[in-house]
Amino acid sequence: MAANPVDCPVCNNQLRNGDFIRLNCSHFLCQDCWEGWLAQPGGHTCPICRAETLDTYLPIVNIPGMGLHAPITNADVNRWSQM
């Protein structure tokens, strides 16, 4: 069974370890899209569901045990969420 890649919902590029963030609403975005969104007026919400974000700076996710910039799959996200 092939792993399902996780894509940024804004730019549709595959998310890679160390290059994406998780918003408090649980949506994931690549770092570039998040930084671009923050620069927009009213950009302190999730671009997907418009939930308020807790902060303008969010840590970049680096899933332990994976190589930096490795492609992220749904299984990786599920494993990370349970840590």
Sheet with 60-61: list strands edge to edge. 28-30, 20-22, 60-61
Cα angle, residue 50 at apex, residues 45 and 53 outer, rounded to 5°: 35
CA distance 33 to 66: 22
Query: Per-residue pLDDT tens for 34-72?
Result: 889 888 887 788 999 999 886 655 667 777 777 777 777
Q: Which domains does the chain have, with CATH numbers?
A: 20-81 (3.30.40)
Q: pLDDT at residue 23 above 80?
A: yes
Share above pLDDT 70 across residues of the chain, in percent, rounded to a whole number = 84
Q: pLDDT at residue 5 above 70?
A: yes
For residue 1, the model assigns a pLDDT of 46
For residue 39, the model assigns a pLDDT of 87
